[in-house]
Chains A and B, each alone.
Chain A
Amino acid sequence: MERTPTACIFNIQRFSLDDGPGIRTTVFLKGCSMHCVWCHNPESIAPGRQRMLCSEGDETCHEVRVAGEYYSIQEIYEKVMADVSFYRQSMGGVTFSGGEPLLQREFLAGVLAACKAGGLHTAVDTAGNVPWFHFESILEHTDLFLYDLKIWDEEKHARFTGAGNRLIHENLQRLSDLGAAIWIRIPVIPGINDTEDEIGHLVDFAGHMRGVEQISLLRYHAMGNRKRKALGLSPDGIEETVTQEKMLSLKKLAADHSAIRVIL
C-alpha cells in the first residue's frame, strides 16, 4: 500500500485576504527552519503537536489547547474546496504558509498538485531557508510565491532569525531566473529592520528581479506575545511600535527604490 503523506497543520484560515490575490484559504503548516524573535505565530516554529494554555474564554475554561493537527492531502483538499465559489468569483485560491511549508515537501507537493488539478490558483508563503530541491518539487504546481525577506545584514539576520540569509537570497534569485511570479513580504520590526538602510537594501536587492510583482511591508504587531505566554515562552522583548507615519515613509522609500507596487 502506498504511504499517504500527512502534515501537521496549526490553522486553516478561510476568508484570507492578505495572502495573495482575491479571497483565499490559508493553510498553516507547523515547523520552521528559522526562529525569528518577533514571530507572531510562535506555535508555528516547533514541528508536531504542542500544548498551549487557553487564556481566554469563560469562567469554566482552564483548558489546554493543542496546536497542530495531522491532516491528509485529501482532507485538506476537501476543506479548501468548500470555498471554491468564493475563489472563482474573486480570482482567489489557496495559500500554504507556515511555519515553513516547504519543510513538509512531500505533502506540500501533493496537496498543491491536487489543488491545481481542482482548478485553484495556488500560492506558497515561504521564508526561503530550505535547500533548493525542496522548491523544485513544487514549482510545477505553484502559481505564486510569497517570499519573505527580513534583514539585509547577514550577521544581524542570523542573530535575530537563527539563520543566515545567503541561501534565502540564492533561492529567490533562482526562482526569479525560472520565471516564477513572486510577491516580496518584509515584516517591519521596530529596532531591528525599521530603518531606511535595511529596507532600502532589501528593496534594491529584490525590487528589480524578474517576476517580482509587488512588495508588501508588514507592520509589526505584538499579538505573538499572547501565544508565547500560552506556550510558556518569554515575550519577544520588543517594546516599541512602528508608527503609521514611519510605515508610510518606508513605503515611499521602497517605491522609490523599485519600479513595482508597494503596499502596506
Chain B
Amino acid sequence: MEWIGRTSNEERIERLRDSEYHCFRQSIYEERKHIYARTFREFAQSPQVIKAARALMAFLSAKEIVVNTDELLLGHAQFCDYAGSRPADVETEIKEAMETASTEEKSILREFLTGFQIGLYGRASGGHVIAGYEFVLESGLDGLKNAAVAVMEDDGLSDGSQKRIMAESFLLVYEAASCYIERYARAAENAGLEELAVVCRRIAHDVPESFTEAIQLLWFVHEIVIMEQLSGSFSIGRLDRILYPYYRKDLAEGRLTKEEAYDLIRALWIKFGGVRKGYQNVTVGGCDEKGTSCVNDLTYFALFASGSIKMDQPLLSLRWTQDMPADLKRHAVTLLQMGMGFPALFNDRVCIEARRNSGIDEADARNYGIVGCVELSTPGKERADTEGLRINWAKIIELMLHRGRCAQTGKTIGISQNRPLQEVADFTQFYQWYLAEFDHFFKLAIDGYRILDRNYAGKWPSPFLSSTVKACLETGRDIAGGGPVYHNASINGTGMATAVDSLEAVRRLVFRNKAVSLETVAAAAAGNYEGHGILRRQLRSCPHYGNGNQETDSLMAALVTRFAALAKESTNAFGGQFYAGMYTVEWHSVLGRMTGATPDGRKAGTALSNGMSPSQGADVEGPTAVALSATCFDHSCLGNGMVLDLKFHPEFLEKERHKEAFLHFVETYFALGGMELQVNVVSSKMLRQAQASPQNYRNLIARVSGFSAYFVDLDKTLQDEIIARTEYTGF
C-alpha cells in the first residue's frame, strides 16, 4: 500500500489535534477525589469492591462531557500523569501493608522500604495491562449485564459469596458505562453530530456492528479503564486484529471508504494523544494463531496515523515477522525516520518463544500484545504487574563498596556479607560476593512484594477493568486478586551495563593490572572522583559492554541469565511466577540520581545505562557490535521484555541504500535472537537546541526507553542521557 498523506478531512483532523489538549482540566482530580470519598462514606458497610463500583458510577455520572463540533469520535479521558492514582506511592503502600503485617513481615517491609528510599528498588503499582476490549466488543454492554445477572441469580451461590458480590459490582459499572455513553449521545445530538449520537445510543447497550461503532466503544472502554485507576500503561493490544472484522465488513458492504477508516484511526490517535504520559501502547502486525502474518490495511493505517498525527501517544509497536510485506517494512523505516521512535520493532519469533517460556499456552503466546513499553501480555487474559518490581544492579556495587551505606542519602541497608575490601583477594571472590548480594536483594524484593501483592486487590479493587476480563466474572476475583487466566508478576533490572562495566573495571584495574586497590576505588567513588581524574579515566578506558568484547559480554550474559532464573523460581501471592524484564522506562534516570559514583567512572547522580543498551557513549564499535553484544544471551528468557535503543543521525536514513542497510541490520539482529529494537533518529545538536530553547521544540518527540515522550517534558538528567547516547552517522 502507498503511504497515505493528506485526506479530504485534513483541516478537520488538524483542528481536532490542536484542540485535544484544551480538553484537559486539572480540577477533575479534585472532583473525583471528593466523589470517591463521599461514596465510600455512603457505602461504608458494603464490600470494598462495591464501594469502588459505586464511586466510579457516581464519578462517571458527574464527569464533564466535552463535545466539539469537529469530533469524529466522542469522549475525552482528561488524564495527565498519575495525580490521584491509587496507592499514591510505594511508601504509602508499604505503610498501609504494615498495619496488617506480622512481626517478621514488618521487619521485611522496613528493609524493603529502605531499598526504595536509597534507589535500590523501584515500583509503579496499578495499570500495565491490556483490558478485554475484544470481550466487551463481542458481548456488548447489555450482553455483559446479562452475564453478570446470571451469576447473581445462580442459586448455588450464597448471598455474601465473593462471586456474587463481584458480579454485582460488574453490573453496577456496566450500568455506569451505559449511562456515560448515553450522556454523550445526548450531547452529540445537541451539538448537531447526529450520526455519532446514533452510534452512542446503540453501543450504550448493543453489540457494535460497524467500524465506527467498534472504534467508539473501544475508546469509551479505554477511557473508563483509565479513569477508574488513574494509572498508566493501559494498553490496547492488537488494534489491527480487533477492528479488522468490522472494517472488512463495512468496506465490503460499501458503508465505509478506506479514507474514512484512516481518518477514524487518526481521530482515535488524537484521543490517545490527549492522555499525557499515559504510556498507552498499541500493537500491530505479527502472526495469527497459525503463525502466519496477519498484516491488514489497518496495520498500515496505524503507521501512517502515527506519522500524520505526530503526538507522543499512542506508543506504536510493530510485531516483525519474516513473512510480513516488504512495503510495510519500508514504511516502518519511513516512520522511524521522522524521529519519534515509532514504531518499536518486536521480533515475533523470540517474543512468542518468551511467552512459551512463561508458561503461556500456544494460541495465547501467538496472540501477545505489548503493555506499556515492551512488556508482553495476553490481551484480556493476563495481569503480570509489569512494573511491580525493579532492582538497580549498579546500586548493589555501591553498597558493597561502602558497607551497605548509600552514598547519596547516607542511609544504611543490610548487606549479606559485610566484607572488609582489603580482604577481597581476587576478582572471583569479588564477583562471587556480588552474586551473593544480587541474590540477597533479589530475595528481599520478592519477600516484600508478596506482602504488598496480597493486600493490593482487597484495598484497591478495579471492578470496571476486571469486568472486561472474562475470567474475572467466572472466578469472581479482581484482576489483581487472582482473577485472570494468567496472574503473574514481574521484576525488572536497571543499570545492567553500568554494573557490568563497573565489574569489568574492577577486574582489569584492581585485580588484573593491580594498578589500584579496591579501597582506593571505593574512596574515590565516595568522593565522586574529585581529585581522581586520572583514576577515573583509567576506569573509563576499560572495556565496556556493547563492543562485542566476549569477556565483558559474558559477565552480562551470566547476570541476566541468573536474574531470569531467580525470577522463574519466585512466586507472587497467588502462586504465579515472575517474569524478568530488561528495560528501564525512566528509571535509569530516576535511580541514577539516587546512585553514587560507580567503578566504571560514572559520576554520582547521573543516569545509569538504558535498558539493554551499552553505557551512554561507550559503544565505540558501532551498531553491529552493539547488536552482537546485546544478543550474548538468549532473549527468550525475558518474559517481561527488553529494550535495545540505537540513535541515528537524521541524515543517516535519507539515502535509499542506507535505509536498505538498516533493514538488513534489523533482520540480522533479529536472526541473532534480538527481541526488541527501537531507534532514535534525531541529532544531538537538535536535542541541545531543544534543551536551550524548549519553547521552540514543543513537538520534538524522543524515544526514552521503551516509550516516546515530548523531549522538553523530560527532566534534565533524562535529556542529558539521551544526548549522551552514541549517535551513528553511517560511515
Residues of B within 8 A of A60 (CB): 533-534, 536-537
Q: When chains A and B are docked, how far (Å) is the Cα of A82 from the Cα of B632?
A: 13
Contacts of A90 in B (CB 8 A): 660-661, 664-665, 668
Say how far A260's CB is from chain B's closest CB, in angstroms.
16
Residues 171-216 of A contacting B (Cβ, < 8 Å): none
- Residue A110 at the chain B interface, CB threshold 8 Å: no
Contact with B668, one of A16, A17, A82, A85 (Cβ below 8 angstroms): A85
Residue interface mask A40-73, B partner, CB < 8 A = 1: 0000000000000000000111000000000000
**B698 in the interface, Cβ–Cβ < 8 Å?**
no
The answer on a CB contact under 8 Å between A15 and B536 is no
Contact A17 B728 (CB under 8 A): no
Interface residues of B in 244-285 (CB under 8 A from A): none
User: Measured between alpha carbons, how far is A22 from B624 in the docked complex, in Å?
Assistant: 13
Give B699-731 as 1s and 0s: 1 = Cβ < 8 Å from A's Cβ atoms: 000000000000000000000000000001011
A23:B665 contact, CB within 8 angstroms: yes
Is the pair B731, A13 in contact by a Cβ cutoff of 8 Å?
yes
B621 touches A17 (CB 8 A): no
**CB neighbours of A132 from chain B (8 A):** none
**Interface: B548 (CB within 8 A):** yes
Q: How many angstroms between the C-alpha atoms of A82 and B537 in the bound complex?
A: 28
**Which 10 residue pairs spanning A and B have beta carbons closest together?**
A90-B664, A60-B533, A15-B622, A89-B668, A14-B622, A83-B624, A17-B661, A86-B668, A16-B731, A89-B664
Q: Which of A15, A18, A82, A92 contacts B623 (CB 8 A)?
A: A15
* Cα–Cα distance between A127 and B640 once the two chains are bound (Å): 53
Measured between alpha carbons, how far is A146 from B664 in the docked complex, in Å?
A: 22
B658 at the interface (CB under 8 A from A): yes
Give the complex CA separation of A83 and B621 in angstroms.
11
13 example contacts (A-B, Cβ-Cβ < 8 A) are as follows: A14-B624, A15-B622, A15-B624, A15-B728, A15-B731, A17-B661, A17-B731, A18-B730, A23-B668, A60-B533, A82-B548, A86-B668, A88-B668
Per-position contact with A for B660-674: 1 when CB-CB < 8 Å, else 0?
A: 110011011001100
- On chain A, the residues within 8 Å of B665 by CB distance are 15, 23, 86, 90
Interface size on A, residues (CB 8 A): 21
Q: How far is the CB of B725 from chain A (nearest CB, A)?
A: 16
Beyond contacts A86-B627, A90-B660, A90-B665: 8 other A-B pairs, Cβ-Cβ < 8 A, are A14-B624, A15-B623, A17-B657, A61-B537, A82-B548, A85-B672, A88-B668, A90-B664
As a 0/1 sequence over residues 1 to 26 of chain A, the CB contacts with chain B under 8 angstroms (1 = contact) are 00000000000011111100011001
Which residues of A sit under 8 angstroms from B628, Cβ to Cβ? 82-83
Give Cα A22–Cα B658 distance, bound, in whole angstroms: 9
Residues of B within 8 A of A61 (CB): 537
Q: How far is the CA of A72 from the CA of B534 in the complex (A)?
A: 32
Interchain CB contact under 8 A, A86 and B622:
no
**Contact residues, B632-691 vs A (CB, 8 A):** 657-658, 660-661, 664-665, 667-668, 671-672
User: In the bound complex, do residue A89 and residue B731 qualify as a contact, i.e. CB atoms below 8 Å apart?
Assistant: no
B contact patch SS: helix
The one of A22, A26, A88 in contact with B731, judged by C-beta atoms closer than 8 angstroms, is: A26
Interface string of B516-536 (1 = CB under 8 A from A): 000000000000000001101
Q: How far is the CB of A138 from chain B (nearest CB, A)?
A: 23
Whether, in the assembled complex, B625 has its beta carbon less than 8 Å from a beta carbon of chain A, the answer is yes
| Chain A residues engaging chain B, CB cutoff 8 angstroms | 13-18, 22-23, 26, 59-61, 82-83, 85-86, 88-90, 92, 263
Q: Which residues of B contact A83 (CB under 8 A)?
A: 624-625, 628
Q: How large is the interface on B (under 10, 10 to 19, 20 to 34, 35 or more residues)?
A: 20 to 34
Given contacts A83-B624, A89-B671, contact A23 B533 (CB under 8 A): no
Taking CB atoms, residues of chain B closer than 8 Å to A263 are 657
- CB pair B624–A23 under 8 Å, yes or no, is yes
The CB with the most chain B CB atoms within 10 A, among A14, A16, A59, is that of: A14
In the assembled complex, how far is the CB of residue B620 from the closest CB belonging to chain A, in whole angstroms? 10
Residues of A within 8 A of B624 (CB): 14-15, 23, 82-83, 86
Closest to B663 in A: A90
Inter-chain CA distance A86–B657, complex, in Å, is 15
The docked-state distance in angstroms from the alpha carbon of A263 to that of B656 is 11
User: Of B621, B661, B728, which one neighbours A23 at CB under 8 angstroms?
Assistant: B661
**A89 pairs with B667, CB closer than 8 A:** yes
Task: Find chain A residues with CB under 8 A from B623 CB.
Answer: 15
Do A85 and B671 touch (CB < 8 A)?
Answer: yes
Chain A residues, Cβ within 8 Å of B672 = 85
Closest to A83 in B: B624
- Contact A17/B730 with A22-B664, A86-B668, A90-B664 known, Cβ cut-off 8 Å: yes
Does the CB pair A82–B625 fall under 8 Å? yes
> Of all chain A residues, which has the CB nearest B662?
A17
Q: Which residues of B contact A14 (CB under 8 A)?
A: 621-622, 624-625
Bound form: Cα–Cα A86–B627 in Å: 10
- List B contacts of A23 (CB < 8 A): 624, 661, 664-665, 668
Nearest Cβ distance between residue A59 and chain B, in whole angstroms?
8
A88 to B624, CA, bound (A): 13
- Closest Cβ–Cβ distance, residue B274 to chain A (whole Å): 39
Output the least CB separation between B59 and chain A (Å): 54
Expressed in whole angstroms, the Cα–Cα distance for A89 and B627 within the complex equals 14
- The residue among B665, B667, B728, B731 with the most chain A CB atoms within 10 A of its own CB is B731
Bound complex: CA A263 to CA B622 (Å): 25
CB closest residue in chain B, given A15:
B622
Q: Are A17's CB and B658's CB within 8 A?
A: yes
Please indicate the chain B residues that have their CB under 8 angstroms from the CB of A89 in the complex: 664, 667-668, 671
Question: How far, in whole Å, are A86 and B666 apart by their CA atoms in the complex?
Answer: 9
Tell me the bound Cα distance from A85 to B728 in angstroms. Answer: 20
A239 to B533, CA, bound (A): 39
Q: How far is the CA of A127 from the CA of B621 in the complex (A)?
A: 27
Chain A residue nearest to B533 (CB atoms) is A60
Residues of B within 8 A of A18 (CB): 657, 730-731
User: How far does the alpha carbon of A59 sit from the alpha carbon of B623 in the complex, in Å?
Assistant: 27
Q: Which residues of A contact B664 (CB under 8 A)?
A: 22-23, 86, 89-90, 92
Nearest-CB residue, chain B, relative to A82: B548
Least CB distance, A75 to chain B, in whole angstroms? 15
